[in-house]
Structure 1
Amino acid sequence: MMLHIPDVLTKQQVLDIRHRLDHSTAWIDGKKSAGSQAQSIKNNLQIDVHSEIYQQIAPFILTALKQQAMVQSAALPRHCLMPMLNCYQDSGNYGNHVDNAVQYSSETGQPIRTDVSITVFLSEPEEYEGGELVVEDNYGTHEVKLNAGDAILYPATSLHRVEPVTAGKRIAAFTWIQSMVKDDWQRSMLFNLDMTIMQLRQKYGDSEETIHLTSHYHNLLRQWGDL
């Protein structure tokens, strides 16, 4: 399931973050965080996770993501990794790849299974040319280029890439979530059911039918959940 989540960050929050990133000296070669296979296809910059600016910005973005009801409903987070920050410019790109199945928390060293990927865009679409996030799944190929402050959520199992940025800068934050429900199809069914329950409650209140559907939702989560 792919899901566009608007306004994870306000425009003012994006401006504040961008001002600091645009003047930062903490950018390093993105290949330093890539595995041996990815190093040949990864051409970008990333903020050093040991830098002071990273320690200030990354937790702020993570908190904003956790506060999003749509993230909670769609991803059903068990563990969230601290976001990383990257920049594509001067034809920078990242070829087709699938994210590593396991990442390690920079805070605790805890292994995290990567079920869900999230990218938060920090550049407006008109600030750069190219740079589309391209995600391939069973339903085809999807190009994503969102407004600054918006996020895209998609299965980490998807083959994806970032097209070359031929002008300007594409700055973004990205992270992974280990879900309570490992299977993407099951997460999608639970998300659709949760959205239906919310709509029914708004329209009819806590009717007997809504309560039964809510019970069904929680029993499915109990059955499929990995705690």
Structure 2
Amino acid sequence: MLGYGQFCPLAQSTQLLCERWTLLVVRELIAGSTRFSELQRGLPLISPTMLSRRLKTLERAGVIQTSVAQGHSVYELSEAGRELRPIVELLGAWGHRWARSDLSEGDLDAGLLMWDMRRSINPDVFRNRQVVVEFEYPDAPKGARDWWLVAREGDIDLCLHDPGYEVDLVVRSSLRAMTRVWICEQTLNEAIRSGEIRVLGNPELARRLQDWLTASPLSKLGTRPAPEVVWKSTDQA
């Protein structure tokens, strides 16, 4: 990678963090991914070679630390990496306000959407019982049209194949409509009232679905008022 040839701390940090995929790898680590396979699920278009390269770069820079557990590499943020959380959150919030996707086909991914939902769900809503929610995306590519989220004992499992449990709710939606809900362009209840999303099954559970699914954490941050920044000039009058 070519550097900027500057000692400026901003130049030095952007040399490290602004390579393609690097900040998204950090985003996944902040979100709780620790295994190579988990990182791939959150970054479905990155090649294994590129992911390995970015992880090695971050490790050399002291942003992450690697250990081995049960024969698998485990990646965790170091103190330096954890300090990136507010930066990543601020960039995500800024992107929600000023650089939104137009949700064209190239930006829609059922696997990424469901993986993000699975790790951001509020498990407390259905803690005392097992709940199975099936998602149907008729417009998704073949092999990515049917998904199951299984909530039990505070844990959430994501299945691409029928887990064999009785389904409590079926959520039928276009991929674009559900993505709009997830990135806070409209609420789930608004999409249901408009007919863009249909929820079939247990009425009591359906009423609590909005609280269970919540929304993308970074998008939620972007719905809050931006902090006021006051720049102080060092110029002398």
Q: With structure 2 as the length reference, what TM-score do the two structures score?
A: 0.23
Q: With structure 1 as the length reference, what TM-score do the two structures score?
A: 0.24
Q: Relative contact order, CA 8 A, sep 6+: which one is greater?
A: 1
Q: Which has the larger radius of gyration?
A: 2
